[in-house]
Structure 1
């Protein structure tokens, strides 16, 4: 565990250093960027070194996988903040509200209805990022850009807290224009303060995302290595 922890500390320090470096020209504070360690597909023993290193914000793609790993990890390590960054089926909304602190993939009315019902039942209000289909891709989740203003109104009416906007740019393309566009959409729709966060950027492009205003970056490979 000691060697694993040392390498985790090293990887974590490198990513945090890169974030700080990109904040400088953007005149931002590194503390304003939340590093989400994406632990999906990684077993508990691979996650523990990062926890030992002091990191506390993690992201998972699937509700069931998170249910298998995180209750025990949370017992062992206090202060964990767990983010659901993958697509969420409406029938898993109640489990997601129970387990997660933030949800990044609110993108349609049926899911909004299920989440609102689950939050009302539990009395727990979970901040949600509205996922935008920023590249207008048929195969990807996300609220269509043209429907975003109306959908944001629905989210507010349902008393579901808006954290901000989230996007996944099209693969194998330059991400910067899409990140800049997401920031513009947030501004155009009056998302500021607690509602103005931007979840964008992963291992390959988080530095660009930070430069363009990301408040939450979702980094897996750069912290854990290849999935396993």
Structure 2
């Protein structure tokens, strides 16, 4: 790998956390295989507060090995994320602690696994696992390469999470504004029809909402749809610059 200026993009074409994790696993496999000189598969798991874990692999077998950690609550990825240090499991000389994982590893056709953590915010954790063929060993140099790649990936994943959070916040704000606009316009219609105040008009919407077990916004939209001209379109435009 060309270290100077190396940048891992986990945003372009990635609409979800899973998309970013998939790009991470694919890129990791290609990057380390170039240094190892043999085919290396990779998988990654991202866990964020309030979300289900997102796991992806550069190959189906790699995905299966990584996702099994979540099912059995064992494996080097969880240990690497907890200790913030690389963890290696080999097919032959592993401690008893890794025996169940080792059997799954060998059963998938791999000989060794190297898990490295990504440094994210306190509410998120992510780990990569590199999976080598039988008889292969991750040398100290390769462990260093994997650790360096994880450090670069950490910054990329942080940015991907931040961008996605900003997009989500923007979508939520737009939904709130659209909801508020529908309610305000419906209240205006009711005020005109009943010669009442805004408070009284909103009270009527709220009353129907309770009676029909609907959201106030849904009741408001029904009022607008009943207009002869139909529901008016909601538009949000930036203010004109002087």
Structure 2 length as normaliser, TM-score? 0.28
Higher share in helix: 2
| Larger of the two Rg values belongs to structure | 2
Work out which structure has the larger RCO, using CA pairs closer than 8 Å and 6 or more positions apart in sequence.
Answer: 1
Structure 1 length as normaliser, TM-score? 0.29
